[in-house]
Structure 1
Amino acid sequence: MTVRRIVANIDAASIAPVQKFYSDLFGLEIVMDHGWIVTLASEQTAGVQISIATEGGSGTPVPDLSIEVDDIDAVYARAKTLGHDIAYDLANEPWGVRRFFVRDPAGKLLNILSHPE
């Protein structure tokens, strides 16, 4: 048996502002729209992972989603320009990631990260 895909489902009272958040911040595009559910995607292929945690590291709460990007500074600047709620400021963590936390319009806490080269 092989896991082919894991999809994050976000419970939202209204789809449009949440879809706009992920499209504007991460460049994700709509690949399915049934009205009651919209799926966004990227052309990139990623490995399947599930993290189980008691905290988010550095004393932070466990985030709802972790999203790895190739240019954390650009995404952080875009999040600030778009006026998004930065819940944990950009930091270089002792375990080797550079990250920040932001909340989406549905209130989900996102860990946006990159692994510096």
Structure 2
Amino acid sequence: MRVTQIIADLHVPDLPASRSFYTDYLGLAEEEFNLGWVARHTSPVSRATLQVMTSDATAPVDPVVTVMVDDVEAAYRQAQERGYEIVHPLTTEAWGVTRFFVRAPDGNVLNVVQQHAG
């Protein structure tokens, strides 16, 4: 498994209300995607990416970061082999990703995800 990107997940009470701060003030592009509970903003001039979310719609807890990997099944196996707590099982989501949540020994919850081609 190789990490390809890490994206901060910021919790906000209202996605539309937060949009202008991240786009107008920080200069991030309009949403790369918006599922109604999570939206991703990217920088038009760098690799900077930020997700804002109200609450994860399909998982029992909210992650602090999203970790994009090239092989999510290998990442899942490695987390299990190391005895890390899986707080959301390996799941293929309707929006085209396969992911799971793992709790780091420090208590932070990470969303480990692989995007499907297409």
Q: Which has the higher strand share?
A: 2
Structure 2 CA distance for partners of 1:99 and 1:7, relative to 1, 3 Å: closer
In structure 2, the residue matched to 1:112 is: 112
The total of aligned residue pairs comes to 75
In structure 2, the residue matched to 1:68 is: 68
Task: Report deviation, 1:61.
Answer: 2.6
Which ranges of structure 1 fall in alignment gaps of 5 or more residues?
1-5, 9-45
In structure 2, the residue matched to 1:15 is: none
Task: Report deviation, 1:94.
Answer: 0.8
Identity of matched residues, %? 35
Letter in 1 for 2:103: R
Once the two structures are superposed, residues 52-105 of structure 1 have per-residue CA deviations (whole angstroms, 9 ceiling, x without a partner) of 101123143321111000000111011011111000000000111100000001
TM-score by length of 2: 0.57
RMSD: 2.2
Looking at structure 1, the residues matched to 85 and 59 of structure 2 have their Cα atoms a distance apart, in angstroms, of: 19
Structure 2 CA distance for partners of 1:78 and 1:95, relative to 1, 3 Å: same
Q: 1:51 aligns to what SS in structure 2?
A: strand
Matches within 5 A, 1:91-110: 91-110=91-110
Looking at structure 2, the residues matched to 76 and 82 of structure 1 have their Cα atoms a distance apart, in angstroms, of: 10
In structure 1, the residue matched to 2:81 is: 81
Structure 2 CA distance for partners of 1:59 and 1:76, relative to 1, 3 Å: closer
Structure 2 CA distance for partners of 1:7 and 1:77, relative to 1, 3 Å: closer
TM-score by length of 1: 0.58
In structure 2, the residue matched to 1:38 is: none
In structure 2, the residue matched to 1:34 is: none
